[in-house]
Every structure is written in structure tokens, then in C-alpha cells.
Amino acid sequence: MNIPTHLPNVNRMIHAYRVAPWRVQRQWIGGALLVVLVFAMVGALYLNVTSRTAIAGREIQDLTDAIAASRQASSDLQTQLAGLTSAVSMETRAREMGFRPVEPDELEYLVVPGYVAPRAVDLSSPSETQLNVLAIPPEYNQSLLDWMDERLMSARRFQ
């Protein structure tokens, strides 16, 4: 076999192989194992993120259904309550308890200083939180590449 011996690196390798062939093999195996390890780590990370995303997605589905069911149940209960306190029901209950409609000549209009009668109901609920894109944590809509990109960006920012 003709081996080009004029190249110093090749000569060095041949010499090393002849002295201790297992060293080179170990280097090759070590390199291969490193590659496998890197792939395994990336794979595990990807699997982890994907499974967590899937679980989160399923939770979103369940919560969406639960929210819809809760809203319907709330509306149903509200309607039942309104039925129990309807004008006819309340009047019937009042009469059963011995009340009767007041006659105009039995009334005396009292002026309460500072009292202002409310004009109409206000059903606004300022405390109601509005679900928007900004309120959703990034874990729910960020891909692995997005996450890595964000980490790199933040690392550069702090350099």
C-alpha cells in the first residue's frame, strides 16, 4: 500500500496508530459519542418542550370548554334568580307576608340632605380582566428556536 509520507500530519497519525492504535479509535469513538450526546440532548429538550406545549394546549382546550360551561351555568343561575325575584313572585311573597301596596296619602316625602337618587344601573365591571395576547405567557406560544433566540438576545444585552 502506497501511503503519502510527505504530509507531516499523516505521518504523525500513522506513527501514533502504530504505537497505540486504540488512542485514535478512542478519539473517534469519543467524537461520535459526543455527537450522539448532543443530538440526544437536543432531542430530549425538543421532546420536553413539545410535550409541555401539548399539555398546555390540552389545558387551554379544557379551560376554554370550562369557561364556556361556567358562563352558561352562571347565566342559567342568574335567570333562575331573576325568576324567583320577578315582579309577580315578589308581589305574591309580599302579600303572603302581610304587606300591601302603599296608598299615596300614607306617604311622606322626606328630604335627606346630600342624598342623590341613582339615575340608572351601572353594569360595567372595570375589574374584569381582559384576555389578550400580551397576557399569555411566552411558554404557550414560543417555539424552541424563538426561545433560544430570545436567550441569545438577552445574553448579548447583558454583555
Residues contributing to the site for other proteins (CB under 8 A): 21-22, 25, 29, 50, 53-58, 60-61, 64, 68-69, 71-73, 75-76, 78-83, 85-88, 91, 102, 104-105, 107, 109, 111, 113, 117, 120-126, 128, 130, 141
User: Cell numbers 302603599 correspond to what residue?
Assistant: 102
Beta carbon nearer to other proteins, 97 or 133: 133
Grid coordinates standing for 70?
A: 361556567
Cα–Cα distances in Å, from 114 out to 1, 27, 57, 109, 118?
A: 113, 91, 55, 15, 12
Beta carbon nearer to other proteins, 34 or 55: 55
Identify each DSSP E strand in the chain by its residue range. Answer: none
Which three-class secondary structure state does DSSP give residue 123? Answer: coil
Beta carbon nearer to other proteins, 7 or 69: 69
Please answer whether residues 27 and 16 qualify as being in contact, where contact means their C-beta atoms are separated by less than 8 angstroms.
Answer: no
Q: State in angstroms the smallest separation of the CB of 159 from other proteins.
A: 34
Q: State in angstroms the smallest separation of the CB of 63 from other proteins.
A: 10
Beta carbon nearer to other proteins, 7 or 33: 33
Nearest 5 degrees, angle CA 11-CA 15-CA 20?
145
Which three-class secondary structure state does DSSP give residue 113? Answer: coil
Q: Is residue 7 packed enough to be buried (19+ CB in 10 Å), middle (13-18) or exposed (0-12)?
A: exposed
Beta carbon nearer to other proteins, 7 or 23: 23
